[in-house]
Amino acid sequence: MSTERLAKPKWLMMNANFGSGYRRVRSLLKEHGLHSVCQEASCPNMSECFESGTATFLILGHVCTRGCGFCDILKGKPKIHDLGEPQRLASAVAKLGLKHVVITSVTRDDLDDGGAAIFAATVNKLREYDPNIQIELLVPDFQGAKASVDMILDAAPEIFNHNIETVPRLYKTVRPRMGYKRSLSILKYAKGSGKVKLVKSGIFVGVGEREDEIKQTMQDICDTGVDILTIGQYLSPSELHLPVLKYYPPEDFVKFKQWGNEMGFKHTESGPLVRSSYKASHQSANLIEV
């Protein structure tokens, strides 16, 4: 693999904001012993989201049992899970006054249920604090275990999210321990259950996919019944991760959004800095019946 890296274009340059809102969210996470995917995955939107008083919570610890080439989350052998995490997370959400909360996790192949019970417990604790809060769960594939997926669906979050990430040809490079068809089947199963209001997925571009592959992957996702699709530019966290092979200009993301709208997604969020949980409440606005 070449060590030469593409220069980041101007449309990806951001001014970080480390104001009082940012400091408050960081302090609250530390105080409650919580992790955020914003910090652990080096999200480029972290300062903006923290400053606005929100974060995407990362549960089940901060060590992942898999090693996807694009992800900056620590890989290794996780510690025994802290069962007090759902309570602490719900308390932090209440202090932040969030009305829409996004929760994801590391992948925990070391747990029999992949951590699904902790997701469900977290939803239950959040409902105790605010019965009307909108909950979005971004879940791993649970190695395809339907029993684990059912635990998530039975908890009845408003939004069930599972990311496809990339085109099938690149799975062995980008997501070597994942399965494209497995992930599609999870999305279809969630949509068919009728237990959640919206199903969501996301992909990123820039790791060597062709445009026809992007379009076909979008269509495959749409065919499962997914309501919301997010599309963003891959940014390599370090020289140890997969390199960016192409930076797509903003006009390409406009085109991807048009494709999504034509395919029939209820909402397509497409842009260079779009991430699955970026302005998540905006993505689902007007789609959830109260």
pLDDT digits (tens, 9 = 90+) for 63-73: 878 877 777 77
Closest CA to 100 of 56, 140, 61: 56
Residue 168 clears pLDDT 90, i.e. is over it: yes
Domains of the chain: 16-284 (3.20.20.70)
Region of poorest pLDDT, from 107-116, 119-128, 133-142, 252-261: 107-116
- The dihedral through the CA atoms of 262, 190, 90, 163 has a sign that is negative
Q: Are 154 and 116 in contact (CB under 8 A)?
A: no
Higher pLDDT, 62 or 231: 231
Q: For residues 143 and 165, give the distance between their C-alpha atoms in angstroms, rounded to a whole number.
A: 16
Contacts from 171-180 at CB under 8 Å and sequence distance 24+? 173/69, 173/207, 173/208, 173/242, 174/68, 174/69, 174/70, 174/207, 174/242, 175/68, 175/69, 176/67, 176/68, 176/69, 177/66, 177/67, 177/68, 178/66, 178/68, 178/141, 179/141, 179/144
Quickly state the pLDDT bin for 169 (edges 50, 70, 90): very high
Closest CA to 280 of 100, 12, 147: 100
Report percent pLDDT > 70 for the chain.
96
pLDDT at position 42 is 67
Closest CA to 205 of 233, 237, 241: 233
Average pLDDT, the chain: 89
Average pLDDT value for residue range 229-253: 92
Q: How many CB atoms lie within 10 A of CB 290?
A: 5
Q: For residues 93 and 80, give the distance between their C-alpha atoms in angstroms, rounded to a whole number.
A: 24
Q: Residue 118: is it exposed, middle or buried by C-beta count within 10 angstroms (0-12/13-18/19+)?
A: buried
Interaxial angle between packed helices 211-223 and 180-193, expressed in degrees from 0 to 180 and rounded to the nearest 10:
30
Angle formed at CA 162 by CA 241 and CA 55, multiple of 5 degrees? 75
Quickly state the pLDDT bin for 170 (edges 50, 70, 90): very high
Residue 290 clears pLDDT 60, i.e. is over it: no
pLDDT digits (tens, 9 = 90+) for 189-223: 999 999 999 999 999 999 999 999 999 999 999 99
pLDDT digits (tens, 9 = 90+) for 84-104: 999 999 999 999 999 999 999
Angle formed at CA 116 by CA 110 and CA 119, multiple of 5 degrees? 125
